[in-house]
């Protein structure tokens, strides 16, 4: 079990979604749920996920469309379709949309967790791990590609990288950015972290920063700093 693995679930049945989140959390994984494509997009805008568990029959955009869209923009994302639709053409449609696994409801807790474990092992071995370089002079971040950072982003990455535990409380990050420690600045920091995650993705790093609930942020990768 990889505690760093992040799982997103899109399921419009509130009871089933709650049960899935509970069971997967108890197994030791980080998991968040959404009831629609719109809410799922909000989750992905704020964080990076490794596995998506998707129902097919959803309000608005259906699971097949979601799978195809997410596979296009997140090629390393593993997708599990979890649906009551058992027809062969539905299964074929799921795989053609980009699903890695198609499970039909009802599915046992043990089977779903076994599937997640199998995918997690594959994700951990196949995910590219480029060397990540923070250039303080040029204010750039380089992995598979090079992206430009602003001053505050450089300060945040440098401070987190130099922290012995790779994490810092939000108030300390605000102080490093020379900003007041208040709720307005905390909200601004959240936006800045979201943008920084996107820049890591642009550079070729899928998983970079984790929010520590109510406390601060943790850097999930090793950074080589050059002056």
pLDDT tens sequence across 99-147: 999 998 888 888 999 999 888 887 766 555 568 899 998 999 998 889 9
Q: How confident is the model at residue 54 (pLDDT cuts 50, 70, 90)?
A: very high
> What three-state secondary structure class fits 9?
strand
Domain termination site, one of 126, 153, 176 = 126
Domain boundaries, position 69: 6-126
> In the structure encoding, which two tokens stand for residue 3, read together?
């505690």
Residue 1 located in a structural domain: no
Regarding whether 137 and 99 lie in a shared domain, the answer is: no
Residue 145 located in a structural domain: yes
Checking if the pLDDT of 206 tops 70, the result is yes
Q: How confident is the model at residue 167 (pLDDT cuts 50, 70, 90)?
A: confident
What is the reported pLDDT for 1?
Answer: 56
Q: What is the CATH number of the domain that holds 110?
A: 3.40.50.2300
Q: Of 1-5, 38-42, 64-68, 199-203, which range is least confident?
A: 1-5
Geometric angle at alpha carbon 173, from 163 and 30, rounded to 5°: 75
Quote the number of domains for the chain: 2
Regarding whether 22 and 65 lie in a shared domain, the answer is: yes
> In the structure encoding, which two tokens stand for residue 82, read together?
């979890």
What is the reported pLDDT for 20?
Answer: 93
> What three-state secondary structure class fits 110?
helix
**Average pLDDT estimate for 200-216:** 85
Kind of pairing between the strands at 146-148 and 140-142: antiparallel
**Average pLDDT estimate for 199-205:** 90
What is the Cα–Cα distance from 25 to 28, expressed in whole angstroms? 5
**Average pLDDT estimate for 154-180:** 89
Geometric angle at alpha carbon 10, from 96 and 99, rounded to 5°: 20
Regarding whether 69 and 147 lie in a shared domain, the answer is: no
What is the reported pLDDT for 91?
Answer: 92
Q: How confident is the model at residue 62 (pLDDT cuts 50, 70, 90)?
A: very high
pLDDT in tens, 171-192: 899 999 888 888 888 889 889 9
Residue 14 located in a structural domain: yes
Of 106, 140, 101, the closest CA to residue 118 belongs to: 101
Regarding whether 158 and 59 lie in a shared domain, the answer is: no
Q: What is the pTM of this model?
A: 0.57
Checking if the pLDDT of 227 tops 80, the result is no
What is the reported pLDDT for 129?
Answer: 56
Residue 169 located in a structural domain: yes
What is the Cα–Cα distance from 217 to 227, expressed in whole angstroms? 24
Regarding whether 202 and 138 lie in a shared domain, the answer is: yes
**Average pLDDT estimate for 52-60:** 93
- Cβ neighbors of 46 (< 8 A, separation 6 or more) are 194, 211
């Amino acid at each position: 079990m990889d505690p760093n693995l992040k799982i997103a679930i899109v399921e419009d049945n509130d009871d089933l979604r709650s049960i899935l989140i509970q069971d997967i959390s108890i197994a030791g994984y980080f998991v968040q749920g959404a009831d629609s494509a719109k809410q799922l997009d909000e989750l992905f805008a704020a964080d990076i996920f490794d596995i998506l568990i998707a129902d097919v029959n959803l309000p608005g955009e259906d699971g097949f469309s979601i799978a195809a869209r997410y596979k296009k923009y997140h090629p390393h994302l593993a997708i599990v379709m979890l649906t009551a639709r058992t027809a062969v053409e539905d299964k074929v449609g799921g795989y053609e949309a980009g699903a890695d696994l198609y499970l039909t409801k009802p599915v046992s807790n043990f089977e779903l967790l076994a599937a997640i474990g199998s995918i997690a092992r594959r994700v951990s071995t196949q995910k590219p791990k480029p060397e990540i370089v923070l250039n303080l002079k040029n204010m750039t971040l380089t992995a598979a590609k090079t992206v430009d950072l602003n001053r505050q982003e450089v300060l945040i990455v440098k401070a987190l990288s130099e922290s012995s535990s790779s994490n810092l409380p939000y108030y300390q990050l605000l102080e490093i950015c020379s900003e007041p420690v208040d709720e307005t600045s905390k909200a601004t920091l959240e936006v800045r972290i979201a943008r920084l995650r996107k820049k890591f993705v642009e550079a070729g790093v899928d998983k970079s920063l984790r929010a520590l609930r109510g406390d601060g942020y943790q850097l999930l990768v090793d950074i080589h700093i050059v002056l």
